[in-house]
């Protein structure tokens, strides 16, 4: 959950989000070094008189041609690694299907015989103490902690986007198409997200709430809903 006036990312709750934050910090450090070098060279050129060394220097031209290529490689390699990690699906323990509607989400637990529900935003007048306005729902998505989860995402009417920042998940929900992604929660907690694709008048009122619990609690929850 983000805090007021927060400048950085939310605390990571999945290995993918931890990798994304580390890559973000890595890219910022590279950008900082580049800006510092350019500022130093600009200052040097403005403070000193032009000479033949600055007008014609093939060695310098060679360096500023090769150096950006090396920088791009240093950025591309970890980026490609994270992309492959995000697309990898290795024997998930649970498969969840999310269907976007105007303006609510439907969820189906495909590994269970009859476990599905609609998730609507909780009206402000019905909020309990400690719940967040415009972020709380009447039925939360409950998943087991430290278990690979595959989520299949689609839409029933218009474009939506199933997004939970702290899990590092953002996948478009497209009518007539199934998109899939996966994640693992590393700690118990309640994680909030929202539809991130403009989908109509009530786009701001279809939140996503994922509750990560120990496996024993998840089994009890699923038995209560299926019984």
The predicted structure's pLDDT at residue 54: 54
The pLDDT, as a whole number, for residue 86 is: 85
Domain assignments of the chain as residue spans, ordered by start: 15-87, 94-226
**What is the per-residue pLDDT for 35?**
93
In this prediction, residue 91 carries a pLDDT of 85
Considering the four listed CATH numbers 3.40.109.10, 1.20.1630.10, 1.10.287.90, 3.90.230.10, the one that applies to the domain covering 15-87 is 1.10.287.90
Query: Three-state secondary structure along 49-117?
Result: CCCHHHHCCHHHHHHHHHHHHHHHHHHHHHHHHHHHHHHCCCCCCEEEEEEEECCEEEEEECCCCCCEE
In the three-class reduction of DSSP (H, G, I as helix; E, B as strand; rest coil), residue 26 is classed as helix
pLDDT 10s digits, 142-173? 999 999 999 999 999 999 999 999 999 999 99
pLDDT value of position 10: 87
What pLDDT shows up at residue 53?
54
Q: What global pTM score does this model have? A: 0.84
Hey, what CATH topology would domain 94-226 get? Immunoglobulin-like (2.60.40)
> Which residue stretches of the chain have pLDDT < 70?
1, 50-57
* Per-residue pLDDT, 36: 95
Rounded (10°) angle between helices 58-87 and 15-47:
170
Instruction: Provide the pLDDT for residue 56.
Output: 63
Instruction: State residue 52's pLDDT score.
Output: 53
Q: What local confidence, expressed as pLDDT, does residue 55 receive?
A: 57
Q: State the pLDDT at residue 64.
A: 80
* Four-point Cα dihedral 219, 170, 203, 102, nearest 10: -60
């Amino acid at each position: 959950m983000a805090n007021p006036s927060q400048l950085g990312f939310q605390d990571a709750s999945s290995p993918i989000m931890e990798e994304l934050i580390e890559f973000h910090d890595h890219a910022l450090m590279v950008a900082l070094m580049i800006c510092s070098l350019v500022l130093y060279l600009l200052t040097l050129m403005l403070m000193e008189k032009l000479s033949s060394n600055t007008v014609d220097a093939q060695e310098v031209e060679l360096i500023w041609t090769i150096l950006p290529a090396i920088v791009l490689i240093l950025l591309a390699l970890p980026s490609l690694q994270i992309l492959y990690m995000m697309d990898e699906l290795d024997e998930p323990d649970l498969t969840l299907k999310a269907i976007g509607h105007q303006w609510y989400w439907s969820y189906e637990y495909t590994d269970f015989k009859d476990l599905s529900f609609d998730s609507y935003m909780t009206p402000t007048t019905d909020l309990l103490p400690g719940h967040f306005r415009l972020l709380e729902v009447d039925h939360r998505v409950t998943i087991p902690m430290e278990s690979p989860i595959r989520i299949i995402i689609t839409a029933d009417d218009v474009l939506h986007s199933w997004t939970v920042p702290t899990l590092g998940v953002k996948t478009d929900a497209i009518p007539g198409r199934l998109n899939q992604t996966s994640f693992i929660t590393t700690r118990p907690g309640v994680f909030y997200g929202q539809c991130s694709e403009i989908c109509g008048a009530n786009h701001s009122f279809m939140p996503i709430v994922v509750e990560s619990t120990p496996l024993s609690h998840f089994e009890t929850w699923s038995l209560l809903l299926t019984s």
